[in-house]
Structure 1
């Protein structure tokens, strides 16, 4: 009986051993290559729009407002009349100044004649030295009165001109604080404000690290501010719409803000249709027009854990290896890799959850897109 049982167990052991000898199927992964491609450096920042010129309109002389010659919120041209003040008092002051000038001119003419006669009579002893000194003093006094009268007349003309308040720049005007009939003057404050619209400026802050990274390639070169002209500036509005006009950077601060660790920058943006207004928040997009070369991997190949970003690479022996990578900007579905991979290496884009470093896998390359498709 024991012999029969042993004969029965022996085949079972053979079957079990044969099952253990069967290897599991090799895991298949889809890979794509690390490619070296041209690209244009691109970065994004949060910015705020401001007017290049923001003018407070004030009265420089006191007077009653007799007319307001603009519509609030409209575009005005440089030299347009904004307000007119009652000018009667200043007309009278100018007339008096002109009369005083005429009197001073008459007095000067008489003093010059007497002075000339005195110079002819003095050598003949007809007048004394003291009398000649008196004639000289009167002539000098008449000359000084002429200068004073001219100054008074010019002052009266200027004050009269201030009764007509004109736009010093072209731009959009704000709400009027003063109405017709109001008494305004230098102490009244702002009558309204006027801001320039075209071009408009976008202010944004660049981190110290980003600035250092951008200047890294120029460490051995002479600083060239004209290189900023190669950077195109576009804006994305809060609605997600990309503003069609392209601007240029025209200013970088000369120091890093110690509190924020950022560097202030400014770009001038064309605004011919007055779409942009001061105070708007926008996304500032900087793109260099010069082409550079960089290594790119598909976004699908990039993973992250506590150690940072990494990709899984399949080597020539079909073995999976982990490569920690330093990433830069993303362009479409590709990511630029600063460090960690080399051109031509195969990175896994599908099947990442099934493999671990050190495993041997079956490789299938990502099919190329059909002709005419991206």
Structure 2
């Protein structure tokens, strides 16, 4: 073999060795994975719950006296105030009854006046010896009887006046009124049932049913109800921009569902919310102490349940199954146990490593 051939063979072998070393180096490079370093924070803890609106008060309007409807002075759907006239019932019969009661009162008062005059006259005659004492006693009894008759007559007048006033059917409270169930000319009375209904819509109640297991842990969390912030999402997903606060928890829990009803009051001046409307309630509260949260994308699922991949300081990947609580508004889970502050967990690149392998963590997005 001449020198030229030897040099060619040596060059080829050198190039092959360089290429092999590069391939080997590439094969031993640890894959990069995106990680998040866990840190405790005091950010608000929030949850979402389905809810429905409910009226604080709704009152059926009934006719308290029997009669024919003469006039209806409202339109269904309008706002009424306490005392507004709604129906006028024909009142002729009730006016006649009032006049008769007034006449009876005058008769009773006249009888009383005569009885008192008779008593005074008999007392004078008794002093002169012209009338026996028993006659005076009889006159005294007649006065008492006449006074009682006057009281009864006045009561009859009050009763007649009250019945006459009830021919005007008025709104029992402020709110939105429904359509009338009876028309002009209809005979109505207590036996005919409600004529219409007035519902208070401002403020309006928001009721949400919460499992007892979540009531303390996820909503109250050891703080007062007044410290829990809430806001509402309409079915469209738009936020209802009115301040509200949790009012109270129903004292009795539902044993069949192990849940309790929470109620919040919210302003509804423009009647945008209606009774029975579905809403989503988002609650938020400050934690009693700093909490660790992780992105939901970091959590994987297998047959045994949710898990995360943790990168140890040595770069080794470890499978961990922490206990998690949900924080829906920020798309993150609250770590209840199983992970510690300062540890690194996968937030991307899960397919590049398996538990036990070695990776190169990359912080940030």
TM range (shorter): 0.7 to 0.9
Shift of 1:292: 5.6
Aligned length: 343
Shift of 1:166: 0.8
Provide the TM-score with structure 1 as the length reference.
Answer: 0.84
Preserved contact between residue 48 and residue 280 of structure 2 (Cα < 8 Å): yes
Name the CA distance, whole Å, in 1 between partners of 2:163 and 2:155.
12
Matches within 5 A, 1:140-179: 140-179=144-183
Q: Secondary structure at the match of 1:57?
A: strand
With 99-108 and 281-290 compared, the bigger mean Cα shift is at 281-290
Which of residues 18, 23, 29 is equivalent to 2:33?
A: 29
Aligned to 2:53: 49
Preserved contact between residue 27 and residue 354 of structure 1 (Cα < 8 Å): yes
Name the CA distance, whole Å, in 2 between partners of 1:342 and 1:144.
88
Q: Secondary structure at the match of 1:149?
A: helix
Which of residues 298, 303, 307 is equivalent to 1:301?
A: 298
Which of residues 208, 221, 240 is equivalent to 2:237?
A: 240
Cα distance per residue 1:236-283 (max 9 Å; x no partner): 122222111122222211121111211112111100111111121211
Provide the TM-score with structure 2 as the length reference.
Answer: 0.86
Aligned to 1:353: 351
Shift of 1:41: 2.4
Alignment CA distance shift 1:38-1:73 (3 Å): same
Shift of 1:207: 0.8
Instruction: Tell me, yes or no, if structure 1 residue 65 matches structure 2 residue 63.
Output: no
Aligned to 2:10: none
Preserved contact between residue 75 and residue 170 of structure 1 (Cα < 8 Å): yes
Shift of 1:341: 1.1
Name the CA distance, whole Å, in 1 between partners of 2:93 and 2:250.
49
Which of residues 217, 227, 230 is equivalent to 1:230?
A: 227
Aligned to 2:4: none
Alignment CA distance shift 1:167-1:292 (3 Å): farther
Name the CA distance, whole Å, in 2 between partners of 1:86 and 1:195.
27
Preserved contact between residue 42 and residue 286 of structure 2 (Cα < 8 Å): no
Name the CA distance, whole Å, in 2 between partners of 1:232 and 1:114.
79
Aligned to 1:12: none
Aligned to 1:285: 282
Preserved contact between residue 40 and residue 291 of structure 1 (Cα < 8 Å): no
Aligned to 1:272: 269
Aligned to 1:94: 98
Aligned to 2:134: 130
With 313-322 and 150-159 compared, the bigger mean Cα shift is at 313-322
Q: Secondary structure at the match of 1:191?
A: strand
Cα distance per residue 1:201-220 (max 9 Å; x no partner): 112211110124258853xx
Name the CA distance, whole Å, in 2 between partners of 1:345 and 1:290.
21
Alignment CA distance shift 1:304-1:322 (3 Å): same
Gaps of 5+ in 1: 1-14, 219-223, 368-374
Q: Secondary structure at the match of 1:79?
A: coil
Name the CA distance, whole Å, in 1 between partners of 2:103 and 2:87.
29
Shift of 1:104: 0.9
Name the CA distance, whole Å, in 2 between partners of 1:156 and 1:274.
40
Name the CA distance, whole Å, in 1 between partners of 2:131 and 2:71.
63
